[in-house]
């Protein structure tokens, strides 16, 4: 896609701090890191989101993320990595090219806001009803 910032990064038209590349996947450091080592893993084929990306590219991103997560752990000595991926402007996706965030944290670093939410029990009847609705819609 001509006007996609991540497609431009893949093509080298915009500079990036690359950490990994294979036939289907490109990975680079986020320039607004939530924590040191915050890495983005993207498919080389442009796809906006989980609904749009091919299964093959999705698997390639996941496979690469395992290798990259291992590299981050070894290089930075982190204690955990949050894997996060946003789909759609309604959940604050800002760059409309599928990307998996790998956000590491060492135990002595500040807590990651994305991993902290309070647990409030839901309405079990409503949860059951939605589960049935979703289950019936899965092809
Ligand atoms: P989103 O909210 O879409 O999941 O996250 C987009 C991410 O892309 C943000 O964390 C943002 O910092 C990152 N980002 C946006 N533009 C650039 C860029 O030009 N280079 C790099 N390396 N990261 C970018
Ligand atoms: Zn793109």
Query: How many angstroms separate the alpha carbon of residue 119 from the centre of ligand 1?
Result: 29
Give the mean pLDDT of 61-82.
Answer: 98
Q: Which fold has domain 5-137?
A: HIT family, subunit A (3.30.428)
| Cα gap 131→139, rounded to integer Å | 14
Residue with tokens 């604050």: 92
Residues having CB within 6 Å of any atom of ligand 1: 5, 14, 16, 28-32, 86, 92-95
Instruction: Check: pTM over 0.85? Answer yes or no.
Output: yes
| pLDDT score recorded for residue 1 | 84
3-state secondary structure of 58: helix
Instruction: Confirm whether 38 is a catalytic residue.
Output: no
| pLDDT score recorded for residue 115 | 87
Is the predicted pLDDT of residue 60 greater than 90, yes or no? yes
Pocket test for ligand 1, best of 10, 26, 32 (most atoms within 8 A of CB): 32
Surface-to-core class of residue 85, CB atoms within 10 Å of its CB (0-12 exposed, 13-18 middle, 19+ buried): middle
Ligand 1 atom nearest 99 alpha carbon: 4
């Amino acid at each position: 896609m001509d006007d996609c910032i991540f497609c431009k990064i893949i093509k080298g038209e915009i500079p990036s701090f690359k950490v990994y590349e294979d036939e289907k996947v490109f990975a680079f450091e986020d320039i607004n890191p939530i924590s040191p080592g915050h890495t983005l893993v993207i498919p080389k084929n442009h796809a906006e989101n989980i609904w749009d990306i091919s299964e093959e590219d999705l698997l390639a991103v996941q496979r690469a993320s395992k290798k990259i997560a291992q590299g981050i752990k070894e290089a930075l000595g982190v204690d955990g990595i949050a894997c996060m991926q946003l789909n759609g402007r309604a959940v604050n996706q800002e760059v409309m090219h599928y990307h998996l965030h790998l956000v590491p944290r060492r135990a002595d670093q500040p807590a990651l806001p994305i991993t902290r939410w309070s647990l409030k029990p839901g309405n079990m009847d409503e949860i059951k009803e939605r589960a049935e609705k979703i289950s019936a819609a899965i092809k």
